[in-house]
Amino acid sequence: MQKKTTRSSGEKTSDPSGGQLPLEFKHSPSSSRDDLVVSDRLSAAVGLVDLWPHWPSPVVILAGPTGAGKTHLANIWTGRSGAVPISATAVSGDALELAGRGPVLIEDIDRCGFDDTKLFHLINAVREHDTGMMITTRIWPAAWPVELPDLRSRLRAATTVEIGEPDDDLLAQVIEKLFADRQIVVDPKVISYLVQRMERSLNAAQAIVARMDRLALARRGKITRSLASEVLAEMDANGYDSEIT
């Protein structure tokens, strides 16, 4: 049996099957510590977040693929520490002052890029004032295009934790939670079907759940294995579109 809240469909768009899709409303999955699904792949990273402010080093780097849960962990840490997001490409006096006053967060540093000298000074400010910095990245720091030897030394001294791809059990738990965030109860067989065939990432899970919910609403139907098959085929053809990192 499935439960759904009543939602206004609002403006509609086309459904490939010939119907109309309700306007997509944002469903923000809870990102609190209590809602974090912890598995072996996340245990070390979660342990570091829970250890704050008694970190083994002032700088912590979370490395893992897109959709691995880095942003969720960063949000939890930001909530606990009061960290301020800053950019590694435009480190100014203001950023250095922020790093000297309290914890700072740099997300997706491998995507956004950084200036060696500016990042070096930023890390020095964190170390000097014993404030704290978290950096998230898809790429292990040893593979970053660093030319400044002093920065390489600083990065080697940081605590780096790798987050692997989710296993079957974690994906199943995440999908169940994402549907629950939308107040939908789904047959475990449907979830198992998805887990065995989907891209192995958490952003893929969110994209699939959002699309299935939207189609089910448009057709006034249920979340079924047939719908799962349709959405997986669509995602394979068109790619996954999600903002989770």
pLDDT tens digits, one per residue of 98-130: 999 999 999 999 998 898 998 999 999 999 999
Confidence of residue 152 (pLDDT cuts 50, 70, 90): very high
For residue 165, pLDDT beyond 60: yes
Q: How confident is the model at residue 239 (pLDDT cuts 50, 70, 90)?
A: confident
**Using CA atoms, how far apart are residues 212 and 226, in angstroms rounded to an integer?**
10
Give the model's pLDDT for residue 7. Answer: 40
**How far is Cα 93 from Cα 220, in angstroms, rounded to an integer?**
55
pTM score, whole prediction: 0.68
Share of the chain above pLDDT 90, in %: 58
Confidence grade of residue 82 (pLDDT, cut at 50, 70, 90):
very high
Task: In whole angstroms, give the CA distance from residue 194 to residue 204.
Answer: 11
Extract the runs of DSSP E, i.e. beta strands, from 74-157. 84-85, 104-106, 133-137
- Average pLDDT over every residue of 133-141: 95
Mean pLDDT of the chain: 83
Which positions ≥6 away from 125 have C-beta within 8 Å? 96, 99, 100, 131
| Preceding omega of 188 cis (within 30 degrees of 0) | no
Give 1's pLDDT tier (boundaries 50, 70, 90). Answer: very low
pLDDT: is 6 or 241 the higher one? 241
Of all residues in the chain, what percent carry a pLDDT higher than 70? 79
**CA dist., res. 37 & res. 91, Å (int):** 34
Instruction: Confirm if 77 and 33 have CB atoms less than 8 A apart.
Output: no
| Tokens 């740099």 -> residue | 106
What is the set of domains in the chain, with CATH numbers?
A: 40-162 (3.40.50.300), 166-237 (1.10.8.60)
Instruction: Give 31-64 pLDDT, tens digit per residue.
Output: 554 555 555 667 888 899 999 999 999 999 999 9
Q: Which has the minimum average pLDDT: 5-14, 72-81, 107-116, 148-157?
A: 5-14
Q: Residues 16-29: what's their mean pLDDT? A: 45
